[in-house]
Chains A and B, each alone.
Chain A
Amino acid sequence: MTDTAPEAVAAGAPDPAPDPDEAQRAIEYCYQQDWSDGLPLVPASKPLVDQFLATTSRDPDEIIGSLEQVGRDCTVYLAAVNAAMAGCKPEYFPVVLAAFDALMRERAARGGGFQSTSGPAPLIVVNGPIRHELEFNTAGGAFGDGFRPNATIPRAIGLIVRNAFGIRQHVLGQATQGVPGRWSICIAENEEESPWEPLAANAGQPGGVSAVSATLTRTCEFIDNRATGVTEEVLRDFADTIGRLGPQIFPQTPVALVLCPEHAQQFAGSGYSKADVQNWLIEHSGRTVGEMRRAGKGHVLRFGASADAEPVSDEHFHRVLTEPRQIPVIVAGAKNAGISMVVRIFGEWSGIATPVGEKIK
Protein backbone atom coordinates (compact mmCIF):
# COMPACT_ATOMS: atom_id res chain seq x y z
CA MET A 1 0.00 0.00 0.00
CA THR A 2 2.61 2.50 1.03
CA ASP A 3 4.61 2.29 -2.18
CA THR A 4 1.57 2.83 -4.41
CA ALA A 5 0.26 5.89 -2.58
CA PRO A 6 2.71 8.47 -3.98
CA GLU A 7 2.05 7.29 -7.54
CA ALA A 8 -1.69 7.59 -7.04
CA VAL A 9 -1.28 11.12 -5.78
CA ALA A 10 1.00 12.07 -8.65
CA ALA A 11 -1.32 10.60 -11.26
CA GLY A 12 -4.68 11.71 -9.84
CA ALA A 13 -4.14 15.06 -8.12
CA PRO A 14 -4.26 18.17 -10.32
CA ASP A 15 -2.54 20.36 -7.70
CA PRO A 16 1.04 19.94 -6.60
CA ALA A 17 1.45 18.63 -3.04
CA PRO A 18 1.16 21.47 -0.49
CA ASP A 19 4.42 22.99 0.67
CA PRO A 20 4.74 22.08 4.38
CA ASP A 21 7.51 24.60 4.96
CA GLU A 22 5.35 27.45 3.72
CA ALA A 23 2.37 26.20 5.73
CA GLN A 24 4.49 26.06 8.88
CA ARG A 25 5.76 29.59 8.32
CA ALA A 26 2.20 30.81 7.97
CA ILE A 27 1.13 29.01 11.15
CA GLU A 28 4.07 30.46 13.07
CA TYR A 29 3.24 33.92 11.75
CA CYS A 30 -0.25 33.62 13.27
CA TYR A 31 1.27 32.57 16.62
CA GLN A 32 3.60 35.56 16.55
CA GLN A 33 0.64 37.93 16.12
CA ASP A 34 -0.90 36.48 19.31
CA TRP A 35 -4.04 35.46 17.42
CA SER A 36 -4.01 31.80 18.46
CA ASP A 37 -5.91 30.08 21.26
CA GLY A 38 -2.83 27.90 21.64
CA LEU A 39 -3.50 25.51 18.79
CA PRO A 40 -2.42 26.05 15.18
CA LEU A 41 -4.63 28.37 13.14
CA VAL A 42 -5.55 28.10 9.49
CA PRO A 43 -4.03 31.23 7.97
CA ALA A 44 -6.96 33.16 6.52
CA SER A 45 -6.60 34.72 3.07
CA LYS A 46 -9.00 36.96 1.16
CA PRO A 47 -10.06 34.21 -1.30
CA LEU A 48 -10.86 31.88 1.62
CA VAL A 49 -12.73 34.52 3.64
CA ASP A 50 -14.65 35.55 0.51
CA GLN A 51 -16.01 32.01 0.35
CA PHE A 52 -17.33 32.43 3.92
CA LEU A 53 -18.88 35.81 3.12
CA ALA A 54 -20.57 34.32 0.06
CA THR A 55 -22.66 32.05 2.30
CA THR A 56 -24.60 34.96 3.78
CA SER A 57 -26.54 37.92 2.41
CA ARG A 58 -25.34 40.03 5.30
CA ASP A 59 -23.09 43.03 4.81
CA PRO A 60 -19.49 42.25 5.83
CA ASP A 61 -19.41 45.53 7.77
CA GLU A 62 -22.57 44.77 9.76
CA ILE A 63 -21.87 44.76 13.48
CA ILE A 64 -23.11 41.48 14.96
CA GLY A 65 -21.98 41.93 18.54
CA SER A 66 -20.41 44.52 20.80
CA LEU A 67 -18.64 44.46 24.13
CA GLU A 68 -19.35 48.00 25.19
CA GLN A 69 -17.10 47.87 28.25
CA VAL A 70 -14.01 47.19 26.15
CA GLY A 71 -15.15 49.30 23.21
CA ARG A 72 -14.94 46.50 20.69
CA ASP A 73 -17.32 45.28 17.97
CA CYS A 74 -17.47 42.14 15.90
CA THR A 75 -18.53 42.48 12.26
CA VAL A 76 -19.62 39.78 9.83
CA TYR A 77 -16.20 40.16 8.20
CA LEU A 78 -14.25 39.64 11.44
CA ALA A 79 -16.41 36.65 12.30
CA ALA A 80 -15.58 35.17 8.89
CA VAL A 81 -11.83 35.68 9.34
CA ASN A 82 -11.92 34.04 12.77
CA ALA A 83 -14.13 31.19 11.56
CA ALA A 84 -11.71 30.51 8.71
CA MET A 85 -8.79 30.53 11.16
CA ALA A 86 -10.67 28.14 13.46
CA GLY A 87 -10.79 25.53 10.69
CA CYS A 88 -14.45 25.93 9.75
CA LYS A 89 -15.56 25.13 6.22
CA PRO A 90 -17.18 28.12 4.48
CA GLU A 91 -20.58 26.40 4.57
CA TYR A 92 -20.44 26.35 8.39
CA PHE A 93 -20.43 30.15 8.50
CA PRO A 94 -24.22 30.65 8.78
CA VAL A 95 -24.12 28.37 11.84
CA VAL A 96 -21.25 30.40 13.32
CA LEU A 97 -23.28 33.58 12.83
CA ALA A 98 -26.37 32.00 14.40
CA ALA A 99 -24.35 30.61 17.33
CA PHE A 100 -22.71 33.97 17.96
CA ASP A 101 -26.06 35.74 17.78
CA ALA A 102 -27.61 33.25 20.22
CA LEU A 103 -24.67 33.63 22.59
CA MET A 104 -24.77 37.43 22.50
CA ARG A 105 -28.41 37.26 23.60
CA GLU A 106 -27.04 36.13 26.96
CA ARG A 107 -26.86 38.97 29.44
CA ALA A 108 -23.72 37.43 30.94
CA ALA A 109 -21.97 37.34 27.56
CA ARG A 110 -22.73 41.00 26.87
CA GLY A 111 -21.70 41.91 30.41
CA GLY A 112 -18.47 40.74 31.94
CA GLY A 113 -18.83 37.00 31.35
CA PHE A 114 -15.81 36.60 29.12
CA GLN A 115 -13.67 38.53 31.63
CA SER A 116 -14.99 36.59 34.60
CA THR A 117 -12.99 34.60 37.13
CA SER A 118 -15.27 31.68 36.29
CA GLY A 119 -13.98 31.61 32.70
CA PRO A 120 -17.28 30.26 31.35
CA ALA A 121 -17.62 28.07 28.26
CA PRO A 122 -20.37 28.44 25.67
CA LEU A 123 -22.75 25.50 25.26
CA ILE A 124 -23.94 25.59 21.66
CA VAL A 125 -26.88 23.43 20.58
CA VAL A 126 -27.75 22.89 16.92
CA ASN A 127 -31.19 21.68 15.79
CA GLY A 128 -32.82 20.90 12.46
CA PRO A 129 -31.77 19.55 9.07
CA ILE A 130 -28.53 21.55 9.03
CA ARG A 131 -27.13 18.94 11.46
CA HIS A 132 -27.06 16.35 8.67
CA GLU A 133 -26.36 18.74 5.80
CA LEU A 134 -23.11 19.81 7.45
CA GLU A 135 -22.37 16.34 8.89
CA PHE A 136 -22.45 17.25 12.56
CA ASN A 137 -22.05 14.42 15.01
CA THR A 138 -25.53 13.77 16.37
CA ALA A 139 -24.74 10.47 18.06
CA GLY A 140 -22.15 9.07 20.50
CA GLY A 141 -19.45 11.33 21.91
CA ALA A 142 -21.64 14.42 21.91
CA PHE A 143 -19.12 16.35 24.04
CA GLY A 144 -16.18 14.74 22.32
CA ASP A 145 -13.74 15.03 19.51
CA GLY A 146 -13.54 13.82 15.94
CA PHE A 147 -16.10 15.90 14.06
CA ARG A 148 -15.15 19.03 12.19
CA PRO A 149 -18.29 21.18 12.55
CA ASN A 150 -18.73 20.28 16.25
CA ALA A 151 -15.08 21.13 16.93
CA THR A 152 -14.46 24.19 14.79
CA ILE A 153 -17.68 26.20 15.28
CA PRO A 154 -17.21 26.71 19.04
CA ARG A 155 -13.52 27.35 18.39
CA ALA A 156 -14.55 30.12 15.99
CA ILE A 157 -16.58 31.72 18.78
CA GLY A 158 -13.55 31.54 21.07
CA LEU A 159 -11.34 33.20 18.47
CA ILE A 160 -13.92 35.95 17.97
CA VAL A 161 -13.86 36.65 21.71
CA ARG A 162 -10.07 36.62 21.71
CA ASN A 163 -9.41 38.61 18.57
CA ALA A 164 -12.46 40.73 17.76
CA PHE A 165 -13.29 41.50 21.42
CA GLY A 166 -9.67 41.43 22.60
CA ILE A 167 -10.25 39.25 25.68
CA ARG A 168 -7.01 37.41 26.40
CA GLN A 169 -6.12 35.46 29.54
CA HIS A 170 -4.09 37.29 32.21
CA VAL A 171 -5.14 40.66 30.79
CA LEU A 172 -8.87 41.25 30.31
CA GLY A 173 -9.56 37.54 30.78
CA GLN A 174 -9.24 36.71 34.48
CA ALA A 175 -10.35 33.07 34.72
CA THR A 176 -9.18 31.53 37.98
CA GLN A 177 -9.10 28.05 36.45
CA GLY A 178 -11.60 28.23 33.62
CA VAL A 179 -13.74 25.43 32.29
CA PRO A 180 -12.30 22.25 30.74
CA GLY A 181 -13.14 22.15 27.07
CA ARG A 182 -13.91 25.85 26.79
CA TRP A 183 -14.63 26.74 23.14
CA SER A 184 -15.23 23.10 22.24
CA ILE A 185 -18.83 22.33 23.19
CA CYS A 186 -21.21 22.23 20.24
CA ILE A 187 -23.94 19.62 20.48
CA ALA A 188 -26.11 18.62 17.56
CA GLU A 189 -29.19 17.32 19.32
CA ASN A 190 -30.04 13.66 18.74
CA GLU A 191 -33.53 14.52 17.56
CA GLU A 192 -33.96 11.12 15.94
CA GLU A 193 -33.78 9.31 19.29
CA SER A 194 -35.36 12.01 21.43
CA PRO A 195 -38.90 11.32 22.60
CA TRP A 196 -39.57 15.06 22.84
CA GLU A 197 -39.56 18.22 20.78
CA PRO A 198 -36.09 19.66 20.01
CA LEU A 199 -34.61 22.44 22.14
CA ALA A 200 -35.19 24.98 19.35
CA ALA A 201 -38.93 24.37 19.67
CA ASN A 202 -38.70 25.39 23.34
CA ALA A 203 -36.80 28.49 22.24
CA GLY A 204 -39.21 30.05 19.79
CA GLN A 205 -38.25 28.06 16.69
CA PRO A 206 -40.76 25.23 16.23
CA GLY A 207 -41.44 23.31 13.04
CA GLY A 208 -38.11 21.54 12.67
CA VAL A 209 -36.22 24.55 11.35
CA SER A 210 -32.43 24.73 11.59
CA ALA A 211 -31.63 26.89 14.58
CA VAL A 212 -28.90 27.39 17.16
CA SER A 213 -29.24 27.96 20.91
CA ALA A 214 -26.39 28.99 23.19
CA THR A 215 -25.63 29.85 26.78
CA LEU A 216 -22.57 30.23 28.97
CA THR A 217 -21.69 27.40 31.33
CA ARG A 218 -19.37 26.74 34.26
CA THR A 219 -18.96 22.97 34.08
CA CYS A 220 -20.51 19.59 33.24
CA GLU A 221 -21.16 16.88 35.83
CA PHE A 222 -22.14 13.39 34.75
CA ILE A 223 -25.00 11.31 36.12
CA ASP A 224 -24.27 7.61 35.58
CA ASN A 225 -27.47 5.78 36.45
CA ARG A 226 -28.34 2.67 34.47
CA ALA A 227 -29.43 0.06 36.98
CA THR A 228 -32.90 1.11 38.09
CA GLY A 229 -36.16 0.98 36.26
CA VAL A 230 -37.77 3.39 38.70
CA THR A 231 -37.92 6.75 36.97
CA GLU A 232 -38.20 8.80 40.17
CA GLU A 233 -35.01 7.17 41.48
CA VAL A 234 -33.14 8.34 38.38
CA LEU A 235 -34.64 11.80 38.75
CA ARG A 236 -33.59 11.87 42.39
CA ASP A 237 -30.02 11.17 41.29
CA PHE A 238 -30.23 14.20 38.98
CA ALA A 239 -31.73 16.33 41.75
CA ASP A 240 -28.87 15.43 44.09
CA THR A 241 -26.27 16.73 41.64
CA ILE A 242 -28.33 19.77 40.63
CA GLY A 243 -28.85 20.77 44.26
CA ARG A 244 -25.31 20.31 45.51
CA LEU A 245 -23.62 23.15 47.33
CA GLY A 246 -20.45 23.78 45.33
CA PRO A 247 -21.99 25.77 42.48
CA GLN A 248 -24.32 27.80 44.71
CA ILE A 249 -23.40 31.48 44.65
CA PHE A 250 -26.87 32.93 44.08
CA PRO A 251 -30.26 31.74 45.32
CA GLN A 252 -30.97 30.26 41.88
CA THR A 253 -28.61 27.83 40.15
CA PRO A 254 -29.83 27.20 36.58
CA VAL A 255 -28.72 24.03 34.78
CA ALA A 256 -29.04 22.57 31.31
CA LEU A 257 -29.73 18.85 31.16
CA VAL A 258 -28.00 17.00 28.36
CA LEU A 259 -29.88 13.72 28.61
CA CYS A 260 -28.74 10.54 26.93
CA PRO A 261 -31.45 8.91 24.81
CA GLU A 262 -31.78 6.09 27.39
CA HIS A 263 -32.67 8.46 30.25
CA ALA A 264 -34.90 10.62 28.04
CA GLN A 265 -36.77 7.58 26.74
CA GLN A 266 -37.14 6.17 30.25
CA PHE A 267 -38.64 9.45 31.48
CA ALA A 268 -40.96 9.72 28.46
CA GLY A 269 -41.91 6.06 28.83
CA SER A 270 -43.11 6.84 32.36
CA GLY A 271 -45.31 9.57 30.97
CA TYR A 272 -43.02 12.53 31.65
CA SER A 273 -42.95 15.43 29.23
CA LYS A 274 -39.98 17.81 29.31
CA ALA A 275 -42.07 20.12 31.49
CA ASP A 276 -42.83 17.26 33.89
CA VAL A 277 -39.11 16.51 34.26
CA GLN A 278 -38.39 20.19 34.83
CA ASN A 279 -41.12 20.56 37.41
CA TRP A 280 -40.08 17.41 39.28
CA LEU A 281 -36.51 18.69 39.48
CA ILE A 282 -37.61 22.16 40.60
CA GLU A 283 -39.47 20.54 43.47
CA HIS A 284 -36.64 18.23 44.59
CA SER A 285 -33.32 19.99 43.81
CA GLY A 286 -31.71 21.86 46.68
CA ARG A 287 -30.29 21.59 50.16
CA THR A 288 -31.48 22.56 53.61
CA VAL A 289 -30.44 25.97 54.87
CA GLY A 290 -28.55 24.21 57.67
CA GLU A 291 -26.48 22.30 55.14
CA MET A 292 -25.81 25.54 53.27
CA ARG A 293 -24.71 27.35 56.43
CA ARG A 294 -22.41 24.52 57.51
CA ALA A 295 -20.66 24.77 54.13
CA GLY A 296 -20.22 28.54 54.26
CA LYS A 297 -23.02 29.19 51.81
CA GLY A 298 -25.45 30.94 54.16
CA HIS A 299 -24.80 34.28 52.45
CA VAL A 300 -26.27 32.91 49.20
CA LEU A 301 -29.76 33.38 50.65
CA ARG A 302 -29.18 37.08 51.25
CA PHE A 303 -28.93 37.98 47.54
CA GLY A 304 -32.05 39.82 46.53
CA ALA A 305 -33.60 39.45 49.99
CA SER A 306 -34.85 42.56 51.76
CA ALA A 307 -32.84 43.71 54.76
CA ASP A 308 -35.72 43.10 57.16
CA ALA A 309 -36.57 39.63 55.82
CA GLU A 310 -37.35 37.01 58.44
CA PRO A 311 -34.40 34.76 59.28
CA VAL A 312 -34.70 31.34 57.64
CA SER A 313 -34.54 28.23 59.80
CA ASP A 314 -31.89 25.53 59.30
CA GLU A 315 -34.63 23.02 58.48
CA HIS A 316 -35.95 25.02 55.52
CA PHE A 317 -35.29 23.26 52.19
CA HIS A 318 -33.84 25.80 49.77
CA ARG A 319 -34.77 25.02 46.17
CA VAL A 320 -32.09 26.06 43.68
CA LEU A 321 -34.52 26.29 40.74
CA THR A 322 -37.91 27.96 40.46
CA GLU A 323 -38.81 28.05 36.76
CA PRO A 324 -38.76 25.46 33.94
CA ARG A 325 -37.08 28.10 31.77
CA GLN A 326 -33.96 27.70 33.93
CA ILE A 327 -33.64 24.05 32.89
CA PRO A 328 -33.24 23.65 29.13
CA VAL A 329 -33.44 19.95 28.24
CA ILE A 330 -31.40 18.54 25.34
CA VAL A 331 -31.12 14.92 24.19
CA ALA A 332 -27.67 13.94 22.94
CA GLY A 333 -25.26 11.06 22.65
CA ALA A 334 -25.60 7.37 21.92
CA LYS A 335 -28.33 5.09 23.15
CA ASN A 336 -25.88 2.74 24.78
CA ALA A 337 -25.79 3.66 28.48
CA GLY A 338 -27.60 5.71 31.10
CA ILE A 339 -25.04 8.52 31.19
CA SER A 340 -26.26 12.11 31.11
CA MET A 341 -24.77 15.48 31.92
CA VAL A 342 -25.81 18.31 34.21
CA VAL A 343 -24.42 21.52 32.72
CA ARG A 344 -24.13 24.52 35.02
CA ILE A 345 -25.41 27.67 33.38
CA PHE A 346 -23.49 30.86 34.07
CA GLY A 347 -26.17 33.47 34.70
CA GLU A 348 -29.39 32.69 32.92
CA TRP A 349 -30.27 31.30 29.48
CA SER A 350 -32.07 33.78 27.21
CA GLY A 351 -34.42 31.02 26.04
CA ILE A 352 -34.23 32.29 22.44
CA ALA A 353 -32.79 30.29 19.55
CA THR A 354 -31.48 31.91 16.37
CA PRO A 355 -32.52 30.43 13.02
CA VAL A 356 -29.64 29.52 10.73
CA GLY A 357 -29.21 31.70 7.70
CA GLU A 358 -31.95 34.15 8.46
CA LYS A 359 -31.21 37.83 8.52
CA ILE A 360 -31.48 38.98 12.12
CA LYS A 361 -33.86 41.87 12.63
Chain B
Amino acid sequence: MPNAILDPTGTAATKAARPAAARAPRRASLHGARVGLLINTKQNAAPFLHEVGRLLVEEYGAGSVTARTKLNFAVPESGEVVKEMAAEADVIVTGVGDCGSCSAAAAADGVVFEAAGLPTAVIVTDSFRATTEAMAELRGAPGFPYATTAHPVAALGEAQVKERAAGVLCDVVALLTEPADQNA
Protein backbone atom coordinates (compact mmCIF):
# COMPACT_ATOMS: atom_id res chain seq x y z
CA MET B 1 0.00 0.00 0.00
CA PRO B 2 1.43 3.39 -0.93
CA ASN B 3 2.07 6.04 1.68
CA ALA B 4 -0.80 8.43 2.38
CA ILE B 5 -0.35 12.13 1.71
CA LEU B 6 -0.41 13.78 5.14
CA ASP B 7 -2.91 16.49 6.10
CA PRO B 8 -1.12 19.74 7.13
CA THR B 9 -4.17 21.31 8.83
CA GLY B 10 -4.69 19.11 11.88
CA THR B 11 -8.42 19.83 11.89
CA ALA B 12 -9.88 16.47 10.91
CA ALA B 13 -10.62 15.50 14.51
CA THR B 14 -11.79 18.86 15.89
CA LYS B 15 -14.35 19.95 13.28
CA ALA B 16 -17.14 17.65 14.39
CA ALA B 17 -16.48 18.07 18.10
CA ARG B 18 -17.19 21.80 18.40
CA PRO B 19 -20.47 22.51 20.21
CA ALA B 20 -22.90 25.11 18.91
CA ALA B 21 -22.77 28.41 20.79
CA ALA B 22 -25.83 29.47 22.82
CA ARG B 23 -27.77 32.57 21.87
CA ALA B 24 -29.30 34.96 24.40
CA PRO B 25 -33.10 35.27 24.62
CA ARG B 26 -34.24 38.44 22.80
CA ARG B 27 -35.88 41.29 24.68
CA ALA B 28 -39.45 42.26 23.88
CA SER B 29 -38.32 45.88 23.71
CA LEU B 30 -35.39 48.07 24.65
CA HIS B 31 -37.49 50.07 27.12
CA GLY B 32 -35.38 50.63 30.24
CA ALA B 33 -32.55 48.46 28.91
CA ARG B 34 -28.99 49.22 29.97
CA VAL B 35 -26.95 49.48 26.79
CA GLY B 36 -23.26 48.54 26.91
CA LEU B 37 -21.08 49.87 24.12
CA LEU B 38 -17.84 48.03 23.35
CA ILE B 39 -15.75 50.42 21.28
CA ASN B 40 -12.99 48.80 19.24
CA THR B 41 -10.74 51.93 19.07
CA LYS B 42 -10.89 52.19 15.29
CA GLN B 43 -11.16 55.68 13.82
CA ASN B 44 -14.75 56.95 14.27
CA ALA B 45 -15.87 53.87 16.20
CA ALA B 46 -16.42 55.89 19.39
CA PRO B 47 -18.62 58.66 17.92
CA PHE B 48 -20.48 56.07 15.84
CA LEU B 49 -21.37 53.85 18.81
CA HIS B 50 -22.09 56.77 21.14
CA GLU B 51 -24.58 58.08 18.59
CA VAL B 52 -26.20 54.64 18.35
CA GLY B 53 -26.42 54.61 22.17
CA ARG B 54 -27.92 58.09 22.26
CA LEU B 55 -30.56 57.16 19.67
CA LEU B 56 -31.44 53.93 21.51
CA VAL B 57 -32.21 56.02 24.59
CA GLU B 58 -34.00 58.80 22.72
CA GLU B 59 -36.04 56.76 20.23
CA TYR B 60 -36.41 53.34 21.86
CA GLY B 61 -36.51 54.21 25.56
CA ALA B 62 -33.27 52.51 26.59
CA GLY B 63 -32.48 53.30 30.23
CA SER B 64 -28.77 54.03 30.17
CA VAL B 65 -25.58 53.78 28.15
CA THR B 66 -22.18 52.70 29.40
CA ALA B 67 -19.09 52.45 27.22
CA ARG B 68 -15.88 50.47 27.30
CA THR B 69 -12.93 50.52 24.97
CA LYS B 70 -11.26 47.34 23.79
CA LEU B 71 -7.65 47.02 24.89
CA ASN B 72 -6.72 45.35 21.62
CA PHE B 73 -9.10 45.65 18.69
CA ALA B 74 -7.60 42.61 17.01
CA VAL B 75 -8.47 39.96 19.56
CA PRO B 76 -11.62 38.95 21.48
CA GLU B 77 -12.22 40.37 24.94
CA SER B 78 -11.24 38.42 28.04
CA GLY B 79 -13.80 36.51 30.09
CA GLU B 80 -13.38 39.09 32.85
CA VAL B 81 -14.45 41.98 30.64
CA VAL B 82 -17.43 39.96 29.42
CA LYS B 83 -18.43 39.27 33.03
CA GLU B 84 -18.07 42.91 34.02
CA MET B 85 -20.09 44.12 31.05
CA ALA B 86 -22.75 41.51 31.76
CA ALA B 87 -23.07 43.01 35.26
CA GLU B 88 -23.57 46.55 34.01
CA ALA B 89 -25.52 46.06 30.77
CA ASP B 90 -28.54 44.18 29.41
CA VAL B 91 -27.65 44.46 25.72
CA ILE B 92 -24.36 45.04 23.91
CA VAL B 93 -23.50 47.04 20.79
CA THR B 94 -19.97 46.55 19.47
CA GLY B 95 -17.92 47.74 16.51
CA VAL B 96 -17.15 49.24 14.20
CA GLY B 97 -15.33 46.39 12.49
CA ASP B 98 -13.49 47.92 9.56
CA CYS B 99 -10.38 45.75 9.29
CA GLY B 100 -9.54 42.08 9.00
CA SER B 101 -8.75 41.28 12.58
CA CYS B 102 -11.16 43.69 14.30
CA SER B 103 -14.19 42.54 12.29
CA ALA B 104 -13.43 38.93 13.14
CA ALA B 105 -12.84 39.88 16.78
CA ALA B 106 -16.17 41.74 16.87
CA ALA B 107 -17.93 38.59 15.71
CA ALA B 108 -16.06 36.50 18.31
CA ASP B 109 -17.03 39.00 21.02
CA GLY B 110 -20.64 38.88 19.85
CA VAL B 111 -20.80 35.09 20.13
CA VAL B 112 -19.36 35.21 23.66
CA PHE B 113 -21.74 37.96 24.84
CA GLU B 114 -24.68 36.02 23.43
CA ALA B 115 -23.58 32.89 25.28
CA ALA B 116 -23.37 35.01 28.45
CA GLY B 117 -27.04 35.92 27.98
CA LEU B 118 -26.65 39.37 26.43
CA PRO B 119 -28.38 40.16 23.15
CA THR B 120 -25.61 41.70 21.04
CA ALA B 121 -25.48 43.81 17.90
CA VAL B 122 -22.16 43.47 16.08
CA ILE B 123 -21.55 46.24 13.54
CA VAL B 124 -18.96 45.86 10.77
CA THR B 125 -18.45 47.58 7.43
CA ASP B 126 -19.76 45.74 4.41
CA SER B 127 -16.24 44.94 3.17
CA PHE B 128 -15.75 42.49 6.00
CA ARG B 129 -18.76 40.21 5.76
CA ALA B 130 -16.71 37.14 4.82
CA THR B 131 -14.33 37.30 7.75
CA THR B 132 -17.12 38.18 10.21
CA GLU B 133 -19.12 35.14 9.13
CA ALA B 134 -16.07 32.87 9.06
CA MET B 135 -15.15 33.83 12.61
CA ALA B 136 -18.71 33.36 13.89
CA GLU B 137 -18.74 29.90 12.34
CA LEU B 138 -15.36 29.10 13.92
CA ARG B 139 -16.87 30.08 17.26
CA GLY B 140 -19.75 27.68 16.83
CA ALA B 141 -22.31 30.21 15.59
CA PRO B 142 -22.80 29.70 11.85
CA GLY B 143 -25.29 32.22 10.46
CA PHE B 144 -24.66 34.65 13.34
CA PRO B 145 -26.68 37.79 12.54
CA TYR B 146 -24.91 41.15 12.50
CA ALA B 147 -25.38 44.66 11.11
CA THR B 148 -23.36 46.35 8.38
CA THR B 149 -22.67 49.90 7.33
CA ALA B 150 -20.99 50.93 4.09
CA HIS B 151 -17.21 50.90 3.95
CA PRO B 152 -15.27 53.05 4.85
CA VAL B 153 -16.15 54.61 8.20
CA ALA B 154 -12.74 55.93 9.23
CA ALA B 155 -12.69 58.76 6.67
CA LEU B 156 -16.15 60.15 7.52
CA GLY B 157 -16.77 63.56 9.09
CA GLU B 158 -18.77 64.08 12.27
CA ALA B 159 -22.12 64.65 10.57
CA GLN B 160 -21.66 61.67 8.27
CA VAL B 161 -20.85 59.42 11.21
CA LYS B 162 -24.13 60.45 12.85
CA GLU B 163 -26.02 59.74 9.63
CA ARG B 164 -24.45 56.30 9.45
CA ALA B 165 -25.32 55.58 13.07
CA ALA B 166 -28.92 56.57 12.40
CA GLY B 167 -28.89 54.41 9.27
CA VAL B 168 -27.91 51.26 11.13
CA LEU B 169 -30.24 51.87 14.08
CA CYS B 170 -33.19 49.76 12.86
CA ASP B 171 -30.89 46.82 12.22
CA VAL B 172 -29.39 47.17 15.69
CA VAL B 173 -32.82 47.20 17.30
CA ALA B 174 -33.89 44.19 15.24
CA LEU B 175 -30.79 42.30 16.38
CA LEU B 176 -31.47 43.02 20.06
CA THR B 177 -35.21 42.41 20.24
CA GLU B 178 -37.75 39.78 19.25
CA PRO B 179 -39.44 40.21 15.91
CA ALA B 180 -42.79 41.93 16.51
CA ASP B 181 -44.81 39.14 14.87
CA GLN B 182 -43.53 36.64 17.45
CA ASN B 183 -45.28 38.63 20.17
CA ALA B 184 -48.53 38.81 18.31
A positions within 8 Å CB-CB of B: 26, 29-30, 33, 35, 43-47, 49, 68-75, 77-78, 81-82, 84-85, 111-113, 115-117, 159, 163-164, 166, 170-175, 299
Contacts and interface: CB of A to CB of B under 8 A. Distances in A.
Contacts of A29: 5
A171 B130 contact: yes
Contact of A173 (B11, B72, B100, B105): B100
B134 A117 contact: no
Contact of B100 (A45, A117, A163): A117
Given A111-B72, A111-B75, A171-B130, A70 B138 contact: yes
Interface of B: 3-11, 43, 72-76, 99-105, 108, 128, 130-131, 134-135, 138-139
A166 B11 contact: yes
Nearest to B98: A117
A49 B8 CA distance: 11
A30 B9 CA distance: 12
Contacts of B73: 112
A71 B9 contact: no
B75 A81 contact: no
B43 A299 contact: yes
A110 to B, nearest CB: 8
B109 to A, nearest CB: 10
Contacts of A166: 9, 11, 138
Contacts of A77: 10
B6 A46 contact: yes
A358 B139 CA distance: 35
A164 B75 CA distance: 18
B101 A163 contact: no
A112 B8 contact: no
6 contacts: A69-B108, A72-B11, A111-B72, A112-B75, A116-B100, A173-B100
Given A75-B10, A112-B105, A115-B100, A172 B131 contact: yes
A84 B6 CA distance: 10
Contacts of B139: 71
Given A69-B76, A112-B104, A171 B134 contact: yes
A129 B75 CA distance: 38
A69 B9 contact: no
A157 to B, nearest CB: 13
A112 B101 contact: yes
Contacts of B104: 69-70, 112, 115, 172
Contact of A116 (B75, B76, B99): B99
Contact of B131 (A49, A71, A84, A174): A174
A46 B9 contact: no
Given A44-B8, A116-B101, A172 B134 contact: yes
